[in-house]
C-alpha cells in the first residue's frame, strides 16, 4: 500500500543548463558531456550544501526542494556564482536558467505534485540564460537582507488563475546589484547577525567575521565622509562580544540616534549599534543632512 501523500509548503527549484546544444557542436560529444555532467553535479552539490533535496534530473534540468524560501534563494545564487567560475574563457559558456516558487505541494515518495510545482517550472521557462526568476509569494517569505537582492521583473496572466502572477528576478551578478553582496556573505550574515551601514551610494555589510571598518574624511577610510566636522580617522566599528560597537576617536565627537530615541553624543567613548539608526560625524543629527550614515543591525 502506498504511503499517504503529505501536503506542506516547499521552495521548489528547477535549474536548467542552457547552451548545451552549441557546446556539443564546438567540443564534440564526449567533451561536451563531461562539462554538462560537471554542471549537473554542481547543482546537486550546492543543493545539498544548503539543506535541500534533489528530487530528479530530467535531461539537462534538475528539480530540487527546500524547506524554506531563504535557503532556496541562497542556493540558487550560489549555483550561478559557482557555474560562472567553472566556465572556461575560450569556449561558449554553459549558463543556468533557474526558476523557483514557494508554496504548498504534495510530497510523495520524494516527488512533489501540485500547482506550486507547475508555477516553479513556469518560472524556469521564463528565465533566460544566467537569470533566476521567482514569484512575489517567494519574495514575501524572505528576510529583508535577501529580499533586497531582487527586483520586479514582469506580470503575467497564467492560464487557470484569476490573478496575474507577479514575477521577480533575483540578482546575483556584481554589475546588476547596486550594493553587491556575495552569497557566502549573505549566508553568514543571516546565520550570525549583521550590520548594514549606508552612506549615500556607499554601502557596507558587516558580519561577525568582518574586520573593523573606519569612518572619517581621510580617503583611506572604509567609508569616507568629506566633512569639515569629521576627523581624518573619526571612528571605527567592530564586532565584539556578540554585538557591533561604534568607537569614537575624534575631536568633535559622534552622534548616534537609534530608532525614535534621542541622539547620544560620544566623545572618545563607544556605544553598541542596535536596530535601525543614524550616525553623524562631528555634527548634531539633522534630518535631510546628506552626511548622515544609516545603519541596520540584526
More confident residue, 283 or 202: 283
- Each residue of 220-235: pLDDT tens digit? 999 999 999 999 999 9
The C-alpha cell at 281 is: 560625524
CA distance 156 to 166: 7
CA distance 141 to 297: 19
CA distance 53 to 209: 29
Question: 267 in the Ramachandran plot: left (φ > 0), alpha (ψ -120 to 50) or beta?
Answer: beta
The C-alpha cell at 84 is: 560562472
pTM of the model: 0.70
Please check whether residue 239 is in contact with residue 252, taking contact to mean a CB–CB distance below 8 angstroms: no
pLDDT at position 64 over 90: yes
pLDDT at position 1 over 50: no
Closest CA to 16 of 104, 74, 70, 76: 76
Closest CA to 244 of 280, 215, 271, 214: 271
Which pLDDT score, from 0 to 100, does residue 6 have?
47
Mean of pLDDT values over 10-26:
85
Between strands 213-216 and 223-224, the pairing is parallel
Mean of pLDDT values over 153-161:
77
Domains of the chain, with CATH numbers?
A: 6-176 (3.30.70.1230), 193-297 (2.60.200.20)
- Each residue of 89-122: pLDDT tens digit? 656 678 999 999 999 999 998 899 999 999 999 9
Which pLDDT score, from 0 to 100, does residue 91 have?
60
CA distance 132 to 148: 14
Amino acid at each position: 500500500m502506498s504511503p499517504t501523500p503529505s501536503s506542506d509548503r516547499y521552495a521548489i527549484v528547477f535549474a536548467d543548463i542552457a547552451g548545451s546544444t552549441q557546446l556539443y557542436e564546438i567540443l564534440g560529444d564526449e567533451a561536451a558531456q563531461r562539462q554538462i555532467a560537471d554542471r549537473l553535479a554542481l547543482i546537486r552539490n550546492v543543493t545539498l550544501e544548503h539543506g535541500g533535496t534533489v528530487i530528479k534530473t530530467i535531461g539537462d534540468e534538475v528539480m530540487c526542494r527546500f524547506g524554506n524560501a531563504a535557503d532556496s534563494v541562497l542556493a540558487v545564487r550560489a549555483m550561478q556564482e559557482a557555474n560562472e567560475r567553472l566556465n572556461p574563457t575560450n569556449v561558449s559558456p554553459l549558463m543556468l536558467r533557474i526558476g523557483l516558487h514557494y508554496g504548498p505541494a504534495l510530497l510523495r515518495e520524494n516527488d512533489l505534485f501540485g500547482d506550486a510545482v507547475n508555477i516553479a517550472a513556469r518560472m524556469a521557462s521564463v528565465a533566460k540564460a544566467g537569470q533566476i526568476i521567482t514569484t512575489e509569494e517567494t519574495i514575501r517569505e524572505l528576510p529583508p537582507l535577501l529580499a533586497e537582492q531582487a527586483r520586479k521583473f514582469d506580470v503575467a496572466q497564467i492560464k487557470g488563475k484569476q490573478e496575474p502572477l507577479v514575477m521577480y528576478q533575483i540578482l546575483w551578478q556584481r554589475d546588476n546589484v547596486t550594493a553587491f553582496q556575495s552569497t557566502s556573505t549573505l549566508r553568514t550574515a543571516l546565520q550570525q547577525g549583521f550590520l548594514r551601514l549606508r552612506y549615500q551610494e556607499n554601502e557596507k555589510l558587516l558580519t561577525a567575521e568582518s574586520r573593523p571598518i573606519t569612518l572619517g574624511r581621510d580617503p583611506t577610510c572604509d567609508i569616507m565622509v568629506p566633512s569639515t566636522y569629521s576627523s581624518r580617522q573619526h571612528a571605527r566599528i567592530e564586532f565584539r562580544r556578540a554585538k557591533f560597537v561604534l568607537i569614537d576617536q575624534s575631536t568633535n565627537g559622534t552622534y548616534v540616534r537609534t530608532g525614535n530615541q534621542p541622539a547620544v553624543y560620544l566623545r572618545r567613548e563607544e556605544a553598541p549599534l542596535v536596530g535601525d539608526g543614524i550616525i553623524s560625524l562631528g555634527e548634531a543629527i539633522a534630518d535631510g543632512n546628506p552626511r548622515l550614515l544609516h545603519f541596520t543591525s540584526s
